Amino acid sequence: MVHTYSLIHDDLPCMDNDDYRRGRLTNHKVFGEANAVLAGDALLTAAFGSLAKAELPAERICKAVALLSKCAGECGMVGGQVLDLAGEQLVLTEEEIYNVHRLKTGALISAACQLGVIAAGGTQEQLDAADRYAEALGLAFQTRDDMLDVLGDSGKMGKATGMDEAQLLADAKEPALKQVRMDLAMAAIIKEENIDATDEEVEAEFQRMADQYGMDLETVKKYLQAEQVKDQLRSQKAIAVVVDSATAVKAEKKPAKKTAKKAEDAEGEEAAEEKPAKKTTRKKADEDGEEKKPAKKATKKAAAKKEEETPAESK
């Protein structure tokens, strides 16, 4: 149940984004992403229900539940998947790759092997032997699985091959290049501003992550090295420097814009003052026209009078 749930979630677009599993369309391709997530959740929950109902002494059931929880959770398979996702764009050392395989694949195989020993009432020595066997088998399985992703036949394997290579090629495109440029820029700022993080700040960041994810502090330290956290804190400080600089520049530019706006308002006021002057000029012209009109009327009357007088003289 736990293995099937892990495959359903592993095939999701946010994880490996696979369309086929065992020669058939993956769960999310048939039923949708939401149902695929819920199906995985249901299987994981049902697995512990099955353990609780096992016809075994209560002590062995409790021991089995604790073991499965450890191997399937953040200290096992889930933790390994987190490391696998985090390392997709990094060049990992042999030890780091081994640690991913040991947790992501080996832990669940170890649970399967040790649960049989617990059910049979085996000794601690037998449990340790089963754990060593499972760890070696998990490493061999995952190594071969990675090889088949490059060399295998998708028809025989029942799932797509070349997925790791396709992911690497996708990461090499523009988004990855932008990230590289950003990393270089951050490194330059860190060097120029002499930015560093203290041991106290690193410890506080470890504790913050432990609180945020509900994990034990030592578990977080097991997955992340202090130098990685220190690099992250340096980058955060470098980003803060960039933001502060941008804010300062923006603040300096604001008064200039305000002054320009004031100048535009002043020009508008001057234009408004000119309008009444034009109106006054027009008014004056109208008044001049009115003064001239009576003079024309008087001239017309004089001409009419003259015409009346002329006939009288000729008679």
Average pLDDT of the residues in 138-163? 69
DSSP 227-282: HHHHHHHHHHHHHHHHHHHHHHHHHHHHHHHHHHHHHHHHHHHHHHHHHHHHHHHH
What is the predicted pLDDT for the residue at 197? 83
Q: Which of 55-59, 161-165, 187-191, 212-216 has the lowest mean pLDDT?
A: 161-165
What is the predicted pLDDT for the residue at 302? 56
Higher pLDDT, residue 34 or 231: 34
In percent, how much of the chain has pLDDT > 70?
67
Average pLDDT of the residues in 125-137? 94
Higher pLDDT, residue 141 or 130: 130
Average pLDDT of the residues in 148-154? 65
- Residues 156-210: tens digit of each pLDDT: 655 555 555 455 545 444 555 556 566 667 777 777 778 888 888 888 888 888 8
Binned at pLDDT 50, 70 and 90, residue 308 comes out as low
Element (H, E) at 25: strand 24-25
What is the predicted pLDDT for the residue at 36? 95
* Cβ neighbours around 167 below 10 Å, total: 14
Q: Which of 35-39, 107-111, 245-249 has the lowest mean pLDDT?
A: 245-249
What is the predicted pLDDT for the residue at 59? 95
What is the predicted pLDDT for the residue at 24? 86
Gap between the Cα atoms of 128 and 110, Å rounded: 10
* Cβ neighbours around 193 below 10 Å, total: 12
What is the predicted pLDDT for the residue at 217? 83
What stretches of 75-215 show up as alpha helix (H) in DSSP? 77-86, 94-101, 107-119, 124-151, 154-157, 163-171, 174-192, 199-213
**Burial of 152 per CB tally in 10 Å (0-12, 13-18, 19+):** middle
φ, ψ of residue 51 to 5 degrees: the values are -65, -45
- Residues 2-43: tens digit of each pLDDT: 999 999 999 999 888 888 887 789 999 999 999 999 999 999
Binned at pLDDT 50, 70 and 90, residue 315 comes out as very low
What is the predicted pLDDT for the residue at 260? 55
Question: Does the pLDDT at position 307 exceed 90?
Answer: no
What is the predicted pLDDT for the residue at 313? 41
Q: Quote the pTM value.
A: 0.49
- Residues 290-303: tens digit of each pLDDT: 555 554 555 555 55
Q: What is the DSSP letter of 122?
A: -
* Token pair 């300062």 in the structure block, residue: 248
Higher pLDDT, residue 110 or 192: 110
